[in-house]
Amino acid sequence: MSSTQWDFPLELCCRPMAFVALTGLDVIYNAVHRAIWDAFCANRRADRVPISFKVLPGDHEYPKCRQKRMSYEWYIPKGILKTGWMNKHLNLVPALVVVFYELDWDEPQWKEKQSECATRVEIVRQSLQGRNAKVAVVLIQKKTPLPPGEDLIASERAAALCNACDLSGKSLFVLPHTDHLVGYIIRLENAFYEHTQTYYYTEIRRVKSHKEFLNKTTHQLLFVRHQFKTAFFSELKQDTQNALKNYRTAYNLVHELRAHETNMLEIKTMAGFINYKICRLCFQHNAPLDAIAQFRKHVDLCKKKIGSAELAFEHAAWMSKQFQAFGDLFDEAIKLGLTAIQTQNPGFYYQQAAYYAQERKQLANHLCNHDTSTTYPSPDLLETPAGVLDFFGQRPWRQSHQSIEPPDPEKEKVGILALQLKEREVDHSELIITLLSNAVAQFKRYKCPRMKSHLMVQMGEEYYNAKDYSKALKLLDYVMFDYRSERWWKLLTSILNTALKCAYLMAQVKDYITYSLELLGRSSTQKEEQKSRIEKNLLKVLMNESPDPEPECDSKAVKTAQKLWADRVSLAGSNVFTIEMQDYVPFVECKARFLAPSFHVDVPVQLHVYLKADCPHPFRFSKLCVSFNNQEYNQYCVVEETYQSSDILEASAQGTMCLVPGKTRKYVFKFVARTEDVGKKVEITSVDLVLGSDTGRCVVLNWRGGGGDAASCQEALQATRSFRRRPKLPDNEVDWESVTIQASTMVISRVPKISVRLRHEPPALTNEMYCLVVNVQSQEPTTAKDVKLTAGLKPGQDANLTQTTHVTLNGTEMCDDSHPALLPDIPIGDLQPGEKVEKPLFVRCGQVGTRIFLVHVSYVITTVVEGKEIVCKCHKDETITIETVVPFDVAAKFVSAKFEHMDRVFADIPFLLMVDILSASPWGLTIVTSKMQLAPSMASVDQTESQLDQVILQTGESASECFCLQCPPAPNGQSGVASGHYIISWKRSSAVQSVPVVSTVVTLPHVIVDSIPLYVHADLPSFGRVRESLPVKYCLQNRTKLVQDVEIFVEPNESFMFSGLKQIRLRILPDTEQDLLYNFYPLMAGYQQLPGLNISLPRFPEVTNQLLRRFLPTHIFVKPQGRQADEVIVVAA
């Protein structure tokens, strides 16, 4: 029996296809025949009919057909299914035999050829003897046949040939050997397929016809057999629905069989076969749930059918095979497009198969533990004369036997012994591992990482059992990480134990130490006495001795291991191992912390390293050292055997280099940071703890950063959540949980002892030279050297601000764009203790807004730390925010000579420009002078000297001045005319004399200039007097190039009498003027309305009286008749 005894036979697992035998083809020497055969076999894709072809010689002997039984009355079946039956119908007994024969319709020697063909057909019929297989003839012809009915000779000869060969017309085919060979072949195939269908149909009928002869008592086996055969023929016929139906019936019939110990294996074997077929067809019909349900039913029915107790391993093997086969079917269905899910995938079946394989192994170990003296029985009862069994699932030593009791108890015993001894030779581990790795692949695909890990552990353990320790270690090492990171300590401990055994048996020193470290650690659930044993072993290894063997190891393997260890001991070199602690949960914990997150450079950096051991016994280490990112500091942080210090807590009897379980040890280090490292981070890159010595073995436990291992992160988190009171410890002890890691610290510059004060008067005014006085006073005990000042706009603000801000030290000149926004490193020199320096700065801000200014004072000073003289750079920063505002608002407006607001001016007629300056500055402003800069289109009527010289404006006050201007007519089409600029020169009232004056230029608004055809103005005294004559002259100017008609009419009013022309019509020549003289005689005192002058221009109706009246005064002040003195004044006027 081979290990493949449990495998399903190939013919069961393949897809049954109709079998067609081709004869008369010489595929070796005849090229035409070869081409025909190739066309049959090549490219058999799914779209072609499912037929398996075989070329056989014409006189091939087919399996003999046994005499058909006419009565089953005395027949006792010997088994369920013959081993050869399926193969026979798949590969030996054809459904159709095709005779190929080269014959053209116009063959000259027709008669001879026809009879030769008939002979060939006859030979085939002879060899088929009693089989129902059909025979067909294919004529290979060189010529393309004519369409049917046109070739008279052909149809005649065809009929003759059919007659001669005893064939029906449907079984005769013509194959012209032309270009379209494949097409003809496909048509032929389809015809063959129909024939095979008929053949299998009759076979099914034949098998079914036996049924009526059977009776339920003696022929139970035959019911199953016939049902199976019917189903199998249906499959050959490609009628899978009926096949499934028949297999299901067969399956039920198998379980109706009377089962006893002798035929249990046969029943289970057949049940397994049928179940396989059912599941396979269900998957094929895309009904995976049916398949799964069938399989579950199958397993439930068969689980308890163990059979002979002495051969219980056979049952486990069979179960394993069932699951494996189902897994394979499932997997295959998935490859063809079925989708599986996480909880229902082939992996589970492989896993279960592996489980049964493990059970098989256990049972085999238990049942087959015969003495080595037990010899394999001879003669070998497991050998059969034919080499194979007659029936599936029977015992070789009692084939065809169907009674309940074994025929020969002695023989039975020997047979069982032979089977047991055979079983001992089976490599169970390999089987288990194969199944497990199948399952792993599946679970990986269906997102089950933990299941995968679990199976890998099992694989590892199986490799361990199979003594393949290196593979075992590889697998276990791989999954340990997952269990560690998920904190399943119990599982991790179990894995570590196996791994430790492997490491011991292979004498892998580093692995051995690593696993021991973790098994001794706090996460390990190992029992205390085991931990104690492991620690002792670890100490032995560190002292370069062999450890004691691990318990429960194979004694032979232990012997080899001991030798290996002995070799290791004698071997010198490579005895230093570095183990990275953050990947494990070791038995020593480490936390390193700087006492502060930053240290000033003139203060020593302090560092504490805490160590705690979790192992059962105290142990000694040889060295503790800390590495930094700057390696210069490493030398200051080393504890070695020679280290003697009072800094260590609790001077125990074992000394400073010994860690006592459960106690926290503190080691203190101190060093002076280098001045180059100011502003840099000092980081702990690693903490190394060295166990053992250079003479023996040396293990470096390496903690990256400030300590902490795979579990400490979670523990720290847990500690912060906990509200538990810290245990009260004596002053010299430390609670481990309250220590936090601080792996880096900043070295920062020394605190400056210097004061920087700023004096200024905010806010700044636009464009002024704003004065900022910096006051530096040293409070250092020694001389501050190389004092430098950097001042100006703080970098990193809006670029616009940078461009409009200028800083200078020179306050006597206006600064321009060439000056920077920040003045760096202005040397101040040395400052003696207590000395004070004042430095004025001038800032010009071109735009309003808020600016942040920075004043940075730096210096160098020498100081002593820990007896070491160091040169420190100190600096102090001050920032201030300065607002810039406009000093004043300027408003300009145009008014008429009567101070009436005007939105436009008239050409050549004088008007006034009023300028108002409103101070917005909180400080007093001095207006040094002001100046009008007229545009060429404007002309001044009188002097334009400033009226505001040296005026001082306080907040909210305003100053005004006005200028009388005149404007020539504007060029045609241009209504707006620029009026010019107004320049104000000013400074802060409080500013010192040397500060330059600021000139602010204001652009005056444009004005619209209109021309007017007639200008009129009055010439009259400034006041009148009651009952005294008041001479008035109206002057009319023609401003056009035309003669103008003017109608004038004076409206009398009650305040005045007057003499002169009351109504007049006159003509004025171009560019000339006409005077009208009147004598008004005021009647009433006070501010009186003058008699109105109505002017109308018939030529220019748009120039209304209203418009012209604006040029004329409307009122005059009339004084009452007074004393003599007044008269004198009148005379004088």
Residue 724 Cβ, how far from another protein at the closest point, in Å? 7
d(CA 601, CA 32): 100
Identify which of residues 447 and 1067 has a Cβ nearer to another protein in the complex.
Answer: 447
Distance (Å) of CA 929 to CA 943, 959, 1000:
15, 12, 11
Smallest distance, Å, CB 528 to another protein?
18
Which C-beta is closer to another protein: that of 354 or that of 539? 354
Tally Cβ neighbours within 10 Å of residue 502: 30
Query: Is the CB of residue 749 less than 8 Å from the CB of residue 875?
Result: yes
Min separation Cβ 5 and another protein, Å = 23
CB of 592 to another protein, least distance (A): 25
The CB-of-342 to another protein minimum distance in angstroms stands at 5
What is the amino acid identity at position 63?
P
Q: Pick between residue 433 and residue 793 the one whose CB is nearest to another protein.
A: 433
Q: Report the nearest approach of another protein to the CB of residue 262 (Å).
A: 28
CB 117 within 8 A of CB 110: no
Site of interaction with another protein (CB under 8 A) = 299, 342-343, 348, 352, 355, 447-451, 454, 457, 486-488, 490-491, 494, 714, 717-718, 721-724
The nearer residue to another protein, 231 or 354, going by C-beta atoms, is: 354
**Distance in Å, CB of 186 to another protein, minimum:** 49
CB of 267 to another protein, least distance (A): 21
Which residues, other chains included, contact 479 with Cβ-Cβ below 8 Å and sequence gap of 6+? Answer: 453, 456, 457, 460, 495
Structure tokens at 637: 């942080």
Helix-then-strand count for the chain, H and E: 24, 47
- The minimum distance between CB 319 and another protein, in angstroms, equals 9
Structure token pair of residue 290: 């049916």
What residues are paired with 611 via a beta bridge? 590, 665
Q: Least distance (Å) from another protein to the CB of residue 303?
A: 8
Instruction: Give the count of beta carbons closer than 10 Å to the beta carbon of residue 57.
Output: 13
Helix, strand, coil percentages, rounded to 5, for the chain: 35, 30, 35
Edge-first strand order for the sheet with 1115-1119 is 1023-1025, 1115-1119, 1086-1089
What length is written for the chain?
1133
Structure tokens at 24: 């008369």
Give the residue with the Cβ less far from another protein, 491 or 741: 491
Structure-token pair, residue 454: 């679990």
Q: Which is nearer to another protein, 482 or 535 (CB)?
A: 482
* Alpha-carbon gap, residue 388 to 115, rounded angstroms: 44
Q: For residues 531 and 520, what is the distance between their CA atoms, to the nearest angstrom?
A: 6
Both structure tokens of 223: 């019911």
Taking the complex as a whole, the smallest distance from the CB of residue 311 to another protein amounts, in Å, to 21
CB of 290 to another protein, least distance (A): 18
User: Is the bond preceding residue 661 a cis peptide, omega within 30 degrees?
Assistant: no
Residue 1042's CB is within 10 A of a number of other CB atoms, namely 12
The two structure tokens encoding residue 314? 């056979």
Nearer to another protein, 355 or 1058 (CB): 355
Instruction: Look at residues 65, 63, 64 and name the one whose alpha carbon lies nearest to residue 92.
Output: 63
* Smallest distance from another protein to CB 470, Å: 24
Interatomic CA distance for residues 398 and 520, integer angstroms: 60
For another protein, the closer of residues 709 and 768 by Cβ is: 709
Of the pair 454, 665, the CB lying nearest another protein is at 454
CB-neighbour burial class of residue 881 (10 A; exposed 0-12, middle 13-18, buried 19+):
exposed
CB nearer another protein, residue 437 or residue 494: 494
CA dihedral sign, ordered 552, 556, 557, 558: positive
Closer residue to another protein (CB): 352 or 1038: 352
For another protein, the closer CB: 722 or 989 = 722
- For the purposes of burial, counting CB atoms within 10 Å of the CB of 140, is it exposed (0-12), middle (13-18) or buried (19 or more)? buried
Q: Residue 896 has which token pair?
A: 């008429």
Q: Which is nearer to another protein, 299 or 962 (CB)?
A: 299
